[in-house]
């Protein structure tokens, strides 16, 4: 770590070689794919996930002290920090809104929104000293379209977009860019495990009529971390197969 590396051109859509990247949710399907892709393009990666997940650093990110210690550990392992990818989150709670238990609603907000801020705040001092520092959060299409049965998750992911824009505005003076990706359905084990009828109903409003591959999410994240995205901040990049585009008369 800390060795000299040749920079990529300003127009490169890949992170700079030797970039020191912290990935939360690193043991999940997307987290593993991201970590592997980052390593493949020459980044140095440390992942954080829950205890027992096999991640390099383990923590309960809904616990402030645990999250802070995990970030400190990860930064020490990397010898600094150039990028943070907030891919951690949960999407397990399903209730109608009128019967949604408040404890579970608060749990969704803690896991999917508060933990993102806690990690970013803990990472700020190291990012401020990093090379071309950047943050990419994971939001969700549910933030913009709603998600019946998962009001807590949708509300938290909407909050991630507000968090993204607020941090981008505040931290631009420190040279830190902050963006989000906003995926629709992605080919994670949970989505692939859905009953086909359920998945088909969810895809009915998607012109491309399929879920995104992991690579189709990883690629945009790499772009947002790259020199080519150096003038991009405060944005939510939708990865949705054209969801909500005009569908009248199509696919008949």
> Residue 190 is part of a domain; what is its CATH number?
3.40.50.720
DSSP 113: I
- Which structural domain, as residue segments, surrounds residue 231? 20-239
Structural domain contains residue 57: yes
Structural domain contains residue 179: yes
Q: Does the active-site annotation cover 153? A: yes
Structural domain contains residue 45: yes
Give the 3-state secondary structure percentages of the chain, helix then strand then coil, rounded to 5: 45, 15, 40
Total of domains in the chain: 1
| Helix pair 115-128, 151-171: axis angle to 10 deg | 20
| Helix pair 29-40, 215-224: axis angle to 10 deg | 60
Query: Which residue stretches of 79-114 are H helix?
Result: 102-109
Structural domain contains residue 1: no
Q: Write down the pLDDT at residue 6.
A: 67
- Give the chain's mean pLDDT: 92
Residue 188: band (very low, low, confident or very high) from pLDDT cuts 50, 70, 90: confident
Query: Given 137, 153, 171, 223, which residue is catalytic?
Result: 153
Structural domain contains residue 90: yes
Structural domain contains residue 119: yes
Which of 236, 220, 238 shows the shortest CA–CA distance to 228?
220
Structural domain contains residue 4: no
Q: What is the pTM of this model?
A: 0.91
Structural domain contains residue 14: no
Backbone dihedral region of 42: left (phi > 0), alpha (psi from -120 to 50 degrees) or beta?
A: left
CB neighbour burial string for 84-123, b if at least 16 within 10 angstroms, e if fewer: bbbbbbbbebeeeeeebeeeebebbbbbbbbbbbbbbebb
Q: Write down the pLDDT at residue 252.
A: 43
- Length of the chain measured in residues: 252
Please determine, for residue 145, whether its predicted confidence score (pLDDT) is greater than 60. yes
């Amino acid at each position: 770590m800390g060795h000299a590396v040749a920079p990529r051109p300003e127009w490169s859509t890949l992170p700079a070689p030797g970039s020191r990247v912290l990935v939360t949710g690193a043991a999940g399907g997307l987290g593993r794919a991201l970590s592997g892709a980052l390593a493949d393009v020459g980044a140095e990666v440390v992942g954080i996930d829950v205890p027992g997940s096999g991640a390099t650093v383990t923590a309960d990110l809904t616990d402030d002290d645990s999250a802070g210690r995990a970030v400190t550990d990860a930064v020490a392992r990397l010898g600094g920090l150039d990028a943070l990818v907030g891919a951690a989150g949960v999407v397990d709670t399903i209730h109608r809104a009128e019967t949604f238990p408040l404890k579970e609603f608060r749990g969704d907000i803690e896991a999917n929104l508060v933990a993102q801020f806690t990690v970013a705040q803990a990472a700020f001092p190291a990012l401020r000293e990093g090379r071309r520092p950047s943050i990419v959060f994971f939001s969700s299409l549910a933030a913009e379209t709603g998600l019946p049965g998962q009001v807590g998750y949708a509300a938290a992911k909407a909050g991630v977009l507000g968090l993204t824009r607020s941090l981008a505005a505040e931290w631009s003076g420190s040279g830190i860019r902050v963006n989000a990706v906003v995926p629709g359905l992605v080919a994670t084990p949970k989505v692939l495990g859905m009953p086909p009828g359920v998945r088909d109903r969810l895809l009915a409003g998607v012109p491309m009529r399929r879920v995104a591959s992991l690579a189709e999410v990883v690629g945009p994240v790499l772009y947002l971390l790259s020199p080519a995205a150096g003038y991009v901040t405060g944005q939510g990049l939708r990865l949705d197969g054209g969801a909500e585009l005009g569908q009248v008369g199509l696919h008949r």
